[in-house]
């Protein structure tokens, strides 16, 4: 079989030489290799990969931007509120911040009884909610108030009353716990 192939090639050699490659074939090959090394895209699949990456970045940006704007808005709102009170009376603004933080601490202390005494916790929470609603009403009325300093003083007085109420509630809880402890000790002694 090998001999037949060799004979066929010898007999038809002129036919094989008839089709020669174009003269600039090697130049085109070199040019394409150079473009590939530089990173110039050769086909649509490489372009599609870049479009997918770009669409991913756009989706990511679309999800982050609203969160960013919400954060900026919240920060500006908080800053505006605190600076507004500071413009009226800086000392009263500091007192308001101090009392608000104390109330938050005492509310967290009160929250510990929620599981043990849910009914008592509910009653205490309702009282604090009423006071807090009054505070929010004063806060809303503040910008339109003709005597803003007096309104701020009323807000601070409301916070002081909330603290007093929370202290009384915490004392009641301590008394209840003390009674439970004494009853538990009496039961053990029997």
**Region of residue 39 (phi > 0: left; psi between -120 and 50: alpha; otherwise: beta):** left
Question: What is the model's pLDDT at position 164?
Answer: 92
Give 84-105 as a DSSP string.
HHHHH-HHHHHHHHHHHHHHHH
Question: What is the model's pLDDT at position 92?
Answer: 76
Q: What is each CA distance from 45 to 24, 40, 41, 49, 54, in whole angstroms?
A: 27, 12, 9, 6, 14
Question: What is the model's pLDDT at position 90?
Answer: 75
Question: What is the model's pLDDT at position 49?
Answer: 55
Q: Which residues of the chain have pLDDT under 50?
A: 79, 82-83
Question: What is the model's pLDDT at position 144?
Answer: 80
Quick check: 145 and 151 in contact, CB under 8 A? yes
């Amino acid at each position: 079989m090998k001999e037949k192939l060799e004979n066929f090639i010898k007999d038809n050699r002129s036919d094989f030489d008839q089709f020669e490659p174009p003269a600039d074939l090697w130049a085109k090959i070199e040019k394409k290799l150079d473009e590939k090394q530089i990173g110039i895209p050769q086909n649509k699949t490489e372009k599609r990969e870049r479009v997918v990456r770009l669409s991913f970045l756009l989706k990511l940006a679309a999800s982050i931007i609203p969160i960013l704007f919400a954060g900026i808005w919240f920060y500006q709102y908080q800053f505006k509120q605190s600076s507004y009170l500071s413009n009226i009376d800086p000392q009263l603004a500091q007192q308001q911040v101090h009392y608000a933080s104390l109330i938050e601490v005492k509310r967290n202390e009160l929250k510990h009884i929620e599981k043990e005494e849910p009914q008592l916790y509910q009653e205490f929470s309702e009282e604090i909610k009423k006071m807090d609603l009054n505070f929010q009403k004063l806060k809303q009325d503040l910008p339109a108030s003709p005597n803003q300093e007096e309104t701020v003083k009323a807000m601070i007085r409301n916070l002081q009353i909330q603290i007093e109420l929370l202290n009384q509630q915490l004392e009641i809880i301590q008394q209840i716990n003390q009674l439970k402890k004494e009853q538990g000790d009496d039961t053990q002694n029997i």
